[in-house]
Structure 1
Amino acid sequence: MNTRNVSALVTGGSGAIGRALIEKLSANGTHVVNIDRAPPSTPLPGEFVKLDLTDLTATQKVMGQVMGDFSVGWLVNNAGIATPATLEDTTLQDLDDILSVNLRAALIATQAAIPGMKAARKGRIVNITSRAALGKELRTAYAAAKAGLIGMTRTWALELAPHGITVNAVGPGPIATPLFNSANPPDSPRTKAIIEGIPVKRVGTPDDIAHAVSFFLSDDAGYITGQTLFVCGGLTIGTAPIGE
């Protein structure tokens, strides 16, 4: 595989984290294909392919076409949706939609990408999971999907390692995206409580996620596979003292 002609595929590249990923990869000279249901609000480098990942037939068709049009050596399964709801209010439609975008689309994209990666004896796959996979109120379906993505990451890593393909996951904690900022105004008591609960005392940025993903995609990460890196400012550690 001539790396000068190899592309990176990022699903959900039109959002804040996806944009940071594409800008980071493009700055390193990588051609990027963005698959999303809506185009980016402002132009991004590379290609844009419109696709609703809840549509099974369209997803299978488009992923096959993209892999035929481009030599994909790097895959970032970043697309995700969440519908906050209590356990009692979580509907089966919510579950189906969230699993289709967060989990099923990642499986379809990866299945489409691995023949080319196997032929090249080299590939990098990064799945974007979430700290919510460890448990979070109002996230029954979302937490299940993101936890499932961690399980897939570990399984795929074992199966694909003999072919020179690594598979890792990055799990964002609270990240200052437009959606997060609109729900958590900087001066609100809720936002201040969130920040106070983060050991580094700040909310993360999309660039924080892009840096971690970029490392997993690099040649320097060739001996790392099956791992989940939580980029959360230490939130997954917890700050409560442990009695002896």
Structure 2
Amino acid sequence: MRERVLITGGASGIGRAVAARCREDGYEPVVIDREAGEGVIAADLSDPGQTAAALAEALRSGPITRLVNNVGVVRPGPLEEQTLADLELVVSLNLRCAMQCAQALLPGMKEAGFGRIVNMASRAALGKELRTVYAATKAGLIGMAKVWALELGEHGITANAVGPGPIRTELFDRANPHNSPRTRAIIEAVPVRRLGMPEDVANAVAFLLDARSGFVTGQALYVCGGMTVGAAGA
């Protein structure tokens, strides 16, 4: 039986690319997503009760020792317009869900003496306008990974984060029309002069999920085309 990987929000965008890469690498992806589909466990992961039920269903076939906490939501806006409702939703989906999933899979990982946890953070964790609550949660996912690395290393479990920069997903294309001045400005700000693709992120996730990556833990790997390095020529 193939080893399984739990991927939250794996029905579209980066999550879908991660699921496809997991299949290529010989794993069986187990996807939990709000969007129902073939092989998808449908659940609103912003709700703790639905999350618990979906996790129980995922684990019914046995332990899962690899986890990609990918699901997330953005509520953009300037500080004075961010609401407590925005904060509660984004914290619940981006942070609480990640912790709840890790807690559910942890007993199986400890029993196996092996585990891989990858949290999907963002370049926004380093600071981005109009992202108060989003950036806070993405920085929190990096912090969680560092704490889990310290707590779980003796059990053969690694925990890391991946921080994508601008990635061309369906959501990105809807918000940034092709050849618009805004889209061109984004591309020109990337040192490699292109947008990232979901497969770029999936490649980084695949490295961290690999059994051979056991000496890499507590790290944040930015997949951003060099945007986190600094301004060119500065």
What TM-score do you get using the length of structure 2 for normalisation? 0.96
Q: Deviations over 1:180-229 (max 9, x none)?
A: 11111121111111111110000000000000000000122111000000
Residue of structure 2 in register with 1:75 after alignment: 67
Partner Cα separation in structure 1 for residue 2 and residue 205 of structure 2: 20
Query: 98, 106, 128: which is aligned to 1:106?
Result: 98
Residue of structure 2 in register with 1:203 after alignment: 195
Superposition RMSD on alpha carbons, in Å?
Answer: 1.2
Give the drift of 1:58.
Answer: 2.0
Give the drift of 1:57.
Answer: 1.8
Q: Comparing 49-58 with 62-71, which one deviates more in the overlay?
A: 62-71
SS at match of 1:88: helix
Contact 1:129 1:169 in 2 (8 A): yes
SS at match of 1:157: helix
Give the drift of 1:240.
Answer: 4.8
Q: Please say if 1:8 is aligned against 2:5.
A: yes
The residue type equivalent to 1:88 in the other structure is: E
Partner Cα separation in structure 2 for residue 23 and residue 238 of structure 1: 32
Alignment gaps of 5+ in structure 2: none
What TM-score do you get using the length of structure 1 for normalisation? 0.92
Q: Comparing 69-78 with 121-130, which one deviates more in the overlay?
A: 69-78
The residue type equivalent to 1:103 in the other structure is: L
Give the drift of 1:29.
Answer: 1.7
Partner Cα separation in structure 2 for residue 111 and residue 67 of structure 1: 12
Give the drift of 1:69.
Answer: 2.7
Contact 1:24 1:210 in 2 (8 A): yes
SS at match of 1:69: coil
Contact 2:169 2:197 in 1 (8 A): yes
SS at match of 2:40: strand
Partner Cα separation in structure 2 for residue 194 and residue 54 of structure 1: 30
1:240–1:200 CA distance, 2 compared to 1 (3 A): closer
Contact 1:5 1:71 in 2 (8 A): no
Residue of structure 2 in register with 1:162 after alignment: 154
SS at match of 1:187: coil
Residue of structure 1 in register with 2:16 after alignment: 19
Alignment gaps of 5+ in structure 1: none
Contact 2:2 2:26 in 1 (8 A): no
Partner Cα separation in structure 1 for residue 62 and residue 40 of structure 2: 13
User: Moved runs in structure 1, 4+ residues, more than 3 A?
Assistant: none
Matched residue count: 234
Query: 160, 163, 167: which is aligned to 1:171?
Result: 163
Give the drift of 1:5.
Answer: 4.1
SS at match of 2:95: helix
Partner Cα separation in structure 1 for residue 6 and residue 125 of structure 2: 24
Partner Cα separation in structure 2 for residue 229 and residue 221 of structure 1: 13
Q: Please say if 1:121 is aligned against 2:118.
A: no
Aligned-residue identity in percent = 52
SS at match of 1:49: strand
Q: Comparing 103-112 with 28-37, which one deviates more in the overlay?
A: 28-37
Residue of structure 2 in register with 1:234 after alignment: 226
Residue of structure 1 in register with 2:186 after alignment: 194
Q: Comparing 57-66 with 160-169, which one deviates more in the overlay?
A: 57-66
Contact 2:191 2:232 in 1 (8 A): no
The residue type equivalent to 2:214 in the other structure is: G
Partner Cα separation in structure 1 for residue 132 and residue 100 of structure 2: 23
Partner Cα separation in structure 2 for residue 100 and residue 70 of structure 1: 26
